[in-house]
Structure formats: structure tokens, C-alpha cells
Amino acid sequence: MAWLFNDPDQFADEMVVGFAAAASRWVRHVPGGVVRSTRGSEPTVSLVIGGGSGHYPAFAGLVGPGLAHGAAMGNLFASPSTQQVHSVARAADQGRGVLLSYGNYAGDVLNFDAAQERLRAEGIECRTVLATDDVSSAGPDEREKRRGIAGDLVVFKIAGAACQAGYDLAEVERVASFSNDRMRSLGVAFGGCTLPGADEPLFTVPEGRMAVGLGIHGEPGIEEVEVPTAAGLAERFVSTLLGEVPDGVDVRGARVVPILNGLGSVKYEELFVVYATVHRLLEEAGIEVVDPEVGEFCTSFDMAGCSLTLLWLDEELERLWTAPCDTAAFRRGGVSGQQQVAAEEIEAAVAAATEIGEASDVSRRAATRVAEALDAVAAVLDEHADELGRLDRVAGDGDHGIGMQRGSRAARDAAHEALEAGAGAGTTVQRAGDAWGDRAGGTSGAIWAAMLDAFARSIGDEDAVEAAAVAEGVRQAEEAVERVGGAAVGDKTMVDAIVPFVRTLTERVGAGDPLPQAWDAAVQAADQGAESTKELTAKLGRARSHGEKSRGTADPGAVSFALVVGTVGGRLWGA
């Protein structure tokens, strides 16, 4: 729906004023629409486009160097009047003739034709090329009756680039018309749009249904089906459009521009998910995808829907499609002196950053024990996931159990993978931490990743993992937690367990205790910290179940920390 307007009757006029103010780098407001505010060094044929408003960036957003010279802007979803088209064309004309181009709708044809007649009577050479790309609006033997939808952009871009390249009017007409012959679109809709000031949508689609071929003003489609998956829609788009390949084109080896257009409420992220399958299917059909476009090129206010257009290139169309242009809403080119980097080069850089480094035998043996310890940790956290979730629900969003479960599983798998690749103890712990943070998500995921990373760096891939090294490693881990998490002892977070753990371990190792004993003592200290969290949590839970307002928070990070170090203890240093 529309939220922002003043007097709905003035909406279209105010929109033009706002657009012209925002886009003064490209356009200037003239009666009936806008024309370019810039000029090149030589006069060219002028391209004048237009139609009803409500389809931005069509049409005014496409005026500028390399694209259109002017746009006649009708009221919302209403053709511009003859006078509007005439006025814009007169202002855009540079003495080399005018190409009128727009989507095939009766009202537009009426008014653009009348304007063309008047321009010719005034001695201005004038031709017309319509966009007729919507395959669902008429059969392949009546292509001239089809409506124009997002394929408008193709005809405009090709014609605008031809003007810019110095073509004469007949040649601009020829290539624009050829581009229309070489393109097909299919659109679908999930819901209509509501114009400013209207109480209800202009048209609707039943919930959960998809109207195939529904026009951008609600013109009837060809069928209504259940909303498919993104991949299902991509398959329908591609199979329909590959079912009507332009004459003389061989699909295998063809160079094709796909344009996936959103109508307003279907957003970019969804379009990219659909495009992933479109791209794959086109490649599987032996097509070379060129310069695709995914976004909003011809909207219908906030209508929910999208369309796929395929443009089957030849050498000339490819040159014109990829030529630079600069408009408020569609631009190509811009920064010179750039070159493409080979895919292999980027892959090599990524591989280098994640390469398993050299490691000593002693560190590799320690890595084996790390992986075994992580097997045990993942198993214990699996067991305790529900309990940790329950604890978290008192003070948080209840996802701590599942986060620790996911994180520790991923860490276990990553550790084994690193081990097989010959990693030392440090790298194995680091890979485990990376995977933990990546899969667990949330604050605790990030803290575990930081903690394991700090520990890993401290123990490295060379030295034996002996008592002093472990004590130094956990000290570094504690620092990382405090730095990253920003909490202090008593905040009822993981810090309440790690601080006594590290203090005890450092003291006992310093006093000459063997690591296994020192570690066990440290685990007991961590357990005490965790207990106080559990007590507070229980108290909070009781208070809340009696309807009291919550005071304080307690996250179960200390509890899960104690669990993990308790599990590790017996394995990593016990053997």
C-alpha cells in the first residue's frame, strides 16, 4: 500500500517535482515530463520514452546520457496525454529526429501516435518502436499484440545506445525493433498494489496463490497456481522462455542477457535466490549468460511479483547493451583502469589464507587428543542441550543449548578435518573455534571462537602442549573473552566460571602440580562459578513464575563453560 502522500490528486505532479529535484544531475522538468539536463558534443537522434507513472525507474529514471533523452510522465498508471508526449519530444529533439518507444498499451498507443502525427506535421522526423515482450498476453503468432513489461528496458537501452553511437533515425528504429524481436518476458504476481489514497488494492491475488502472466496493471493472466518454491519459479520462467526462442537462434552457444525484475514488494534477496536457479538452468541449456540484471527496473508501485526477460544477443545488440550509460536509476561503466581478476587467482588467495601450515610431530600428536576431546565435548553438549536451553529461557531467548550443540558439532568436524590435513594442535583448535563461531552464531558463538583462537595462537603448531603452555593459553583465552564480551566477574556470564578456572589453573601449575591435577582443581573452581549462576537462575525463575518483575539477568555461559572444561579435562591431559 501507499503510506506517504499529500493530496492524492496531486501525487503524480508532486512526484515529478521531487524526482526532478533529486535527479537534477540528469534531468530537467519540462511540461509533460523530463528531458536530459546534459548534452553531448554532437546532436543525435533523440529517444523519447514514457507511460503512466508508478513504474519507477520506468520511465523517468532512464533519462540520461547513453539512454533516453526524455520521458513523458502520465498520471499514475495512466498514459501521458498527446500534449505531454508532444511537449517532451519537442524539448528533446536535436534536429536529427525522434524515436518514440514505450510499452504496448492501448492508451499509450493512442496518445503517442497522435503526438507522432503532430510532430511529423511540424516537420520533425518521428518513428515508433513498441516493447511487446510479455509472452502471456498473446500467442507467438500475434507478438505485435503483446503487452510490454520489463523488456521496455531492453528496447530503451538498445535504442539509447544507438542514438549515442550516432546511428540515424532509420537505423535506431531498425536496431530497437530488432531488440524487441529478440526478447521475451514472463511475469508472475502474488498481490496487487494500492495507489495513494485508495482504500483497497487495485487488484488482488488470493493468499498462497500465484497469478501467472498477470499484467503490471492487473491485466488478466493465463493461470493461477500455488506459490512455488524459488527454484520452481525459476524452472517455470526458464522453460517457458526457452520454449519460444527467436527465429534463427541456436540455444546452445547463444549469448543471452537475463533480466530478473521485481515489481516492488518482492525484494532483492528473494530475487537473488530465484536467480541462482535461473543462472544454473541457462548454463545447463548451453547458454552463455552475459551481463545479467537482477533488481527493480519496471515496478508497479508496491505490487508483489516479478518477471524474467531473456534478450538473445547478436554482436550489435551486445555492443549496445553493454555500452556506458548514466541515468538516475540505470548506469553502466564509471571507473576506468580496472581489470577482471581470474577466478583461480581469488581461489588461490583464499586457499593461501586457509592453508594448513607446517607442524611438529609432537604438536600433531597433541592435535589427535584435541580432536578426541572435541568428540566428547560435542557428545556432552548434545546431552545437555535441553537443560542449557531451559536455563537460557529464564533470562534470554532460549537458544543457548542449541547454539552450543551446533557449535560443538561443527568444531568436532572441523578438528577432524584439520587433523587429516596434517594440522598441529594450534591450527586444529583454531579451525575448531572458527567452525564453532560460524555455526553457533550469537554472542556465545563469537566468544567461543575468540577464546579458542586465542588459546590456539598461544599453543601454536610446534611445541609440546605442556602445563605452562596450557596455563598461558587459557589465560589468553580469558583475556579474549573479557575483551570481546566486555563482561566482568559477577555479571553472571561465562566470566564467572572462566576467571576462577584460570586463576586456579595458573596457581596450581605455578606451584608445580602436574597438569591433570591442576586442571581438575580448576574445573572445580569453574563449577562453583557455574553453580552461583544456576542458583540465581533458579531464583529468577521462581520469582517470575510468581509474576514478579525480573531483576537481573543470568546467562548459562558459565554453566556450559564448566561442562566443556570438565569434559576436556580427563581426556586431553589424562592419557
Catalytic residue positions? 217
Cα 52 from chain centre:
30
Cell numbers representing residue 175 in the block: 536496431
Q: Which of residues 241-270 bind its own copies (CB under 8 A)?
A: 260, 264-270
End-to-end alpha carbon distance in the chain: 68
Q: How far is the CB of 10 from its own copies (least distance, A)?
A: 9
Nearest to 381 by CA among 567, 555, 536: 567
Q: Which of residues 284-313 bind its own copies (CB under 8 A)?
A: 289, 291-296, 299, 301-302, 304, 306
Q: How far apart are CA 179 and CA 47, in angstroms?
A: 15
CA-CA distance, 376 to 118, in Å (whole number)? Answer: 85
CB of 261 to its own copies, least distance (A): 12
Rounded CA separation 453/329 (Å): 45
Per CB under 8 A, 534 contacts its own copies: no
Cα–Cα dist 127/173, whole Å:
7
Cell numbers for 391:
536455563
Q: Does residue number 273 form part of the binding site for its own copies (CB under 8 A)? A: yes
Pick the piece of the chain touching its own copies (CB under 8 A) from 16-24, 134-142, 415-423, 544-552.
16-24
Distance CA 211, CA 205 (A): 7
Identify which of 364, 362, 395, 340 has the alpha carbon closest to the alpha carbon of residue 550.
395
DSSP 522-548: HHHHHHHHHHHHHHHHHHHHHHHHTTP
Q: Tell me the closest approach of the beta carbon of residue 399 to its own copies, in angstroms.
A: 11
Whether the Cβ atoms of residue 497 and residue 474 lie closer than 8 Å to each other: no
DSSP 548: P
- Of 49-78, binders to its own copies (CB under 8 A) are 53-54, 56-57, 61, 64-66, 75-76, 78
Q: Which of 45, 172, 271, 568 binds its own copies (CB under 8 A)?
A: 271
The one-letter amino acid at 500 = P
| CB nearer to its own copies: pick between 260 and 467 | 260
Q: Using CB under 8 A, pick the residue from 44, 46, 81, 493 that binds its own copies.
A: 81
334-363 residues in contact with its own copies (CB under 8 A) are: 334-335, 337-341, 343, 346, 349-350, 353-354
Among 274, 469, 522, 530, binds its own copies (CB under 8 A): 274
99 binds its own copies (CB under 8 A): no
The one-character DSSP state at 145 is G
411-450: contacts with its own copies (CB under 8 A) = 434-435, 437-438, 441-443, 445-447, 449-450
The pattern of x and - marking residues 106 through 145 that bind its own copies according to CB under 8 A reads xx--xx-xx--xx--x------------------------
Show the CA angle centred on residue 73, arms to residues 71 and 79, nearest 5°.
Answer: 115
Q: Which of 502, 372, 385, 490 is nearest to 444 (CA)?
A: 385
Q: Are strands 223-226 and 293-295 parallel, antiparallel or unpaired?
A: unpaired
Q: Are 58 and 264 in contact (CB under 8 A)?
A: no
Do 71 and 20 meet the contact criterion of CB atoms below 8 Å apart? no
316-335: contacts with its own copies (CB under 8 A): 324-326, 329, 331-335
Give the DSSP H or E segment for 163: helix 152-164
Dihedral over alpha carbons 35, 41, 42, 48 (to 10 degrees): -10
Q: CA 49 to CA 92: how far, in whole Å? A: 11
What string marks each residue from 361 to 380 as x (binds its own copies by CB under 8 A) or -? Answer: --------------------
Sequence length of the chain is 575
Q: Please, which of residues 453-512 interact with its own copies by CB under 8 A?
A: 453, 457, 480, 483-485
Angle between helices 495-510 and 515-545 (to 10 degrees): 160
Report which of 566, 553, 538 is spatially closest to residue 390, judged by C-alpha positions: 538
* 212 near its own copies, rule: CB under 8 A: no
Kindly tell me the burial class for residue 206, based on how many C-beta atoms sit within 10 Å of its own C-beta (0-12, 13-18, 19 or more).
Answer: exposed
Question: CB-wise, 275 or 501, nearer to its own copies?
Answer: 275
Contact positions with its own copies (CB under 8 A) in 155-174 = 164
453/527 with CB nearer its own copies: 453
Gap between the Cα atoms of 527 and 540, Å rounded: 20
Query: Residue 553: what residue type?
Result: T
Nearer to its own copies, 353 or 575 (CB): 353
